[in-house]
Amino acid sequence: MRVITTIKELQTEMALQKKKDKTIGFVPTMGYLHEGHLTLIRRARQENDLVVVSIFVNPIQFGPTEDYTSYPRDFERDRVLAEWENVDYLFYPSVEEMYPHKLSVKLTVQDRTDVLCGKSRPGHFDGVATVITKLFNIVMPTRAYFGKKDAQQVAVIEGVIADFNFPIELVAVDIVREADGLAKSSRNVNLLPEERLEAPILFKSLTAATTPIDQGERNPAKIENVIKEMISNESNGEIDYVEIYSYPQLKPVKTLAGRVIIALAVKFSKVRLIDNVIIEIAGS
């Protein structure tokens, strides 16, 4: 595995490999790798000649009061894990390398961001779209791998790929969970011990919500309330949102029908967690 820290070196290497007709699978991450990331890496490994993983905690996707400085980082550990997974190139640029001066052009995401994390983290998806566009231009992968844990991010990146004509196949991978159902996340280490015990209620409430749906309930507000009640009864987390939208359009639904996403975000003392389930309403 080669660790590369400069854009120029990676671009030169990727151009060389493309000349040899190698397919390139790309997994962008913010590091502090866990089984969720490793699942994306393994999928990329299976489907491509070469695998590129990037580790970059992107400052421009964090709001001023968010956890950029406390976001967990451990490059040595990540390097070992990536090597273990037979990654070919680990791209680990500095902030100065990625943003040597104030950007003269910044992307603004106009669609699918007026809800969920787009609403509660203003500017977040502009930062994501900007860094992903830079990374796509640097790596020029055949396929790019993203987790459905960040379902809205997948929807936004589909837009980036379509609007800016990237010849890249987006592969969306299912959420990887802990044994107790908590979605794996680098941020989980920033939960206090008692919060870690409460956090599985996020997925439990999403799962429980499917029971009334199976029994015929079609009112999204009622389902949202079932989830909110469970979370507030069984944790001290502060609910940021619990919302249901059509997926992948992310439009409000008056009646549950077709494919919908039930998504939530909950703030604990030092960390905000997200989770979702995407379900198909039978017979609609």
Q: Which stretch binds ligand AMP (CB under 6 A): 114-122, 160-168, 184-192, 275-283?
A: 184-192
d(CA 126, CA 155): 13
Which residue minimizes CB distance to ligand AMP?
Answer: 147
CB nearer ligand AMP, residue 33 or residue 256? 33
Query: How far apart, in whole angstroms, are the C-alpha atoms of residue 88 and residue 146?
Result: 18
Buried b (16+ CB within 10 A) or exposed e, 61-84: bbeeeeeeeebbeeeeebbebbee
Reply yes or no on whether 37 is catalytic.
yes
185 versus 205: smaller Cβ distance to ligand AMP: 185
Footprint (CB under 6 A) of ligand AMP, residues 20-59: 29-30, 36-37, 39-40
Asked if 135 contacts 26 with a C-beta cutoff of 8 angstroms, the reply is: yes
Nearer to ligand AMP, 91 or 146 (CB): 146
- Smallest gap from Cβ 4 to ligand AMP, in A, equals 18
Task: Single out the residue of 48, 54, 152, 186 in contact with ligand AMP (rule: CB under 6 A).
Answer: 186
Restricting to residues 145-174, which ones interact with ligand AMP according to CB under 6 A?
Answer: 146-147, 149-150, 173
Taking the C-alpha atoms of residue 249 and residue 195, their distance in angstroms, rounded to an integer, is 33
Contact with ligand AMP (CB under 6 A) among 112, 121, 124, 184: 184
Nearest residue to 2 (alpha-carbon basis) of 101, 75, 92, 114: 92
Q: What are phi and psi of 46, to 5 degrees?
A: -65, -35
Q: In what order do the strands lie in the sheet with 169-173?
A: 2-4, 89-91, 50-55, 24-29, 143-147, 169-173
Among residues 7, 51, 117, 175, the one that binds ligand AMP under rule CB under 6 A: 175
Give min distance, CB of 54 to ligand AMP, in A: 9
Order across the sheet with 238-246: list the strands.
238-246, 258-267, 272-281
Catalytic center residues: 37
Residues that bind ligand AMP (CB under 6 A): 29-30, 36-37, 39-40, 146-147, 149-150, 173, 175-176, 183-186
